[in-house]
Amino acid sequence: MNEFLIQTKENLEKRGYSVFLCESKQRLLELVMGKILPLDISGLEIGFGHSETLEAINLPEECRCRGAQVFTHQPPLTSVEDDRKALLSDYYFLSANAVSKDGYIVNADGSGNRTAAACFGPKNVIFVISRNKITETLDEAMDRAINYTSVELAKKYADRGILPCMSIGRCTECFSPGCMCGVMTIHRKQLFGHKTSVILVNDDMGI
């Protein structure tokens, strides 16, 4: 297992999170189904932030097939009602734009649905973070979230209209209506009374 991942796991644990190491993306679905979710998920409400990592393993569909009520955020097809229901779900899965080796989890969000859910609402929150999103420092994690992830998502999905970073390739701190990063969150530690877990994946996944 990657030493960088092991150090990040230890630092996240010091901050109160339950942390799981996943040896590869091929083992991720098995880990979620075997160690995170209960055996019987029929009737449970499971919410998802928009995440290429989670879609890559088909997790929302797998949960749906096992009888869970699933609420996903998939622009431009997203229903705001589903986003609201996801806020009160039994389990909420999301990725992160970056995590620093010392354990700060960083996300930028355009509509705030997943940053809100990660802060309060769902009974269990699970961050699934692949190794390519681990940075040395919090500054680098912030820089990755804005100058890399948000820019690449803006270019890839292009459903938010023309944004300056699409052509320049870096954030210009725009105030465009379709801005991908109206809110940024830094999770410093496990929140009081919360059950937040982190899965660190020893593979490169997502942007």
Min dist CB 7 to ligand SF4, Å, is 29
Residue 161: C-alpha distances to residues 155, 164, 180 (Å): 10, 10, 10
Q: Hey, CA dihedral for 22, 183, 119, 38, is it positive or negative?
A: negative
Q: Is 198 helix (H, G, I), strand (E, B) or coil?
A: strand
* DSSP of 145-174: IIIIIIHHHHHHH--S---HHHHHSS----
Min dist CB 178 to ligand SF4, Å, is 7
- Check binding of 180 to ligand SF4 (CB under 6 A): yes
- Check binding of 96 to ligand SF4 (CB under 6 A): no
Min dist CB 29 to ligand SF4, Å, is 31
Min dist CB 179 to ligand SF4, Å, is 4
Nearer to ligand SF4, 81 or 173 (CB): 173
Nearer to ligand SF4, 184 or 191 (CB): 184
Nearer to ligand SF4, 46 or 181 (CB): 181
Min dist CB 176 to ligand SF4, Å, is 6
CA distance 18 to 87: 21
Nearer to ligand SF4, 38 or 169 (CB): 169
Cα 6–chain centre separation: 19
Nearer to ligand SF4, 49 or 122 (CB): 49
Residue among 91, 98, 95, 93 nearest 186 (CA): 98
Nearer to ligand SF4, 73 or 131 (CB): 73
Residue among 127, 103, 125 nearest 206 (CA): 127
- Check binding of 105 to ligand SF4 (CB under 6 A): no
Please report, as residue ranges, which positions from 140 to 179 form the binding site for ligand SF4 (by CB under 6 A). Answer: 146, 150-151, 154, 163-165, 171-174, 176, 179
CA distance 149 to 51: 12
Question: HSE (CB half, 13 Å, CA atoms) of 28?
Answer: 25
- Name the site residues for ligand SF4 (rule: CB under 6 A): 146, 150-151, 154, 163-165, 171-174, 176, 179-181
